[in-house]
Amino acid sequence: MANQRGFSFVSMILWLVTAIFVGILALRIVPSYIEYFSLKKIVTDVAATATEGASDADIRGTFGKRLDVNNITRVTPRDLLIERGAQGTVLKLAYSVRQPLAGQASLCLDFEATANAKAGR
């Protein structure tokens, strides 16, 4: 009997609770990251299509249309920061996502996407 192997009932329950916790955490986090990667691609695409003479309103309008197509409501065109300098036009988007976990506990995720208009050419 000293050479028995395997999980005890208690260790199996602990592994199950850990797996459930990780699964719930993944279900809360993964959609936010999918949305972030979509927004990052949108910012990069808008920067690539922005011309030198494009106004801020034109860039925000294009960004807003891409948000509508992708059904993203967490971010608005007003959240897009447009900086013009010697290196060209730089588009920056920074936002936070707060996901409730359980009770008073919540998870805060901060995202930032940056694209240079000249890099897209």
Q: Is residue 103 part of a domain?
A: yes
Separation of alpha carbons 58 and 62, rounded Å? 6
Task: Judge whether 43 lies within some domain.
Answer: yes
Nearest to 75 by CA among 48, 39, 44, 109: 39
- Asked whether residue 36 is domain-assigned, the answer is yes
Domain count, the chain: 1
Q: Which whole-number Å values give the CA distances from 77 to 19, 49, 64, in the listed order?
A: 39, 16, 5
Q: Tell me: the pLDDT tens digits for 66-104? A: 999 999 999 999 999 999 887 788 999 999 999 988 889
What's the CA gap between 32 and 21, in Å, rounded?
Answer: 18
Cα(114)–Cα(43) distance, integer angstroms: 7
Q: What is the pTM of this model?
A: 0.81
Q: Is residue 2 part of a domain?
A: no
Q: Does residue 18 sit within a domain?
A: no
pLDDT tens per residue, range 12-62: 999 999 999 999 899 999 999 999 999 999 999 999 888 777 888 999 999
Domain of 105? Answer: 31-116
